Amino acid sequence: MKKILPFVGITLIILGVFAFVPSNEAHAASYKNGSCTVTVHSDYGVYGPNASTVDAWATSSGCGTLYYKMEILDQWGHSATSQAFSGYFSYRTPTKYFDIGRIRDYTAGGRDSDAYLVEVTLYSDSGHNNYIGMANKQIIVQK
């Protein structure tokens, strides 16, 4: 038992270190309703000062045709750029390119913030009258 405890302790420390290694992947919040799932993706989770665009797209499974609006929001839910894209898709939207230079800076809690959301709002009609839901993905934009 005394020989096992140090081994278990070292193993837990090693696993703990790897659990907190930062990743460039951001977590996506998916929309789910029955068999329909929509997930938002981007080429990176963190965009450094030299990045020029946020490349984003959405995928769906089991949904049929969906109409959408894709935009970048600040953490307060306000539009962070004048760019917004809309269309329809059944499996995957075309990749949309948001110009990082057009993303507005904002302040959260008295400090500049670099956290944004790529948000896709879903509708069942082309006029965007029948709201279905939304999915988003957090990104970090360092200017």
- 1: pLDDT confidence band, cut at 50, 70 and 90? low
**Dist. CA 116–CA 138, nearest whole Å:** 6
Number of H helices, E strands in the chain: 1, 12
- Which of 13, 38, 24 lies closest to 123 in space, CA to CA? 38
The answer, yes or no, to whether residue 13 has pLDDT greater than 90, is no
As its CATH architecture, domain 24-141 has: Sandwich (2.60)
For the full predicted model, state whether its pTM sits above 0.85: no
How far is it, in rounded angstroms, from Cα 75 to Cα 114? Answer: 9
Enumerate the domain spans of the chain.
24-141
Q: What is the 3-state secondary structure (H, E, C) of 19-38?
A: HCCCCCCCCEECEEECCEEE
Whole-number pLDDT of residue 3: 56
Q: What is the DSSP string of 51-75?
A: --EEEEEEEEES--SEEEEEEEEET
